[in-house]
Amino acid sequence: MRATGQAIARTTKLPSGDVLPILGQGTWHFGAIPGRRKDEIAALRTGLDLGMSLVDTAEMYGDGAAEELVGEAIAGRRGEVFLVSKVLPQNASRNGTVAACERSLSRLHTDRLDLYLLHWRSSYSLKETIEAFQALLQAGKIRCWGVSNFDVSDMEELAGLSGGSDVSTNQVLYNLTRRGIEFDLLPWCHQRTMPVMAYSPIEQGRMLGHPELQKVAERHSATPAQVALAWILRDKEVIAIPRAGEPSHVRENRGAVDLRLSEKDLEELDRAFPPPRRKVQLEML
Please give the annotated binding residues, written as ranges.
119
Question: Rounded to whole angstroms, how far apart are CA atoms 35 and 51?
Answer: 26
C-beta neighbour count of 249 within 10 angstroms: 17
Question: Rounded to whole angstroms, how far apart are CA atoms 143 and 99?
Answer: 17
201 residue type, one letter: P
| DSSP line for 25-90 | EE-TTTTSSGGGHHHHHHHHHHHHHTT--EEE--TTGGGGHHHHHHHHHTTT-GGG-EEEEEE-GG
The C-alpha angle 72, 74, 75, rounded to 5 degrees, equals 65
Beta bridge partners of 85: 116
Active site residue 61: yes
Q: At what angle do helices 65-73 and 94-108 cross, to 10 degrees?
A: 40
CB 73 within 8 A of CB 45: yes
First to last CA, the chain: 29
C-beta neighbour count of 277 within 10 angstroms: 7
Helix (H, G, I), strand (E, B) or coil at 198: strand
Sign of CA dihedral 17, 77, 120, 276: positive
Helix (H, G, I), strand (E, B) or coil at 258: helix
Question: Rounded to whole angstroms, how far apart are CA atoms 58 and 86?
Answer: 5
Annotated binding-site members for substrate: 119
Active site positions, annotated? 61
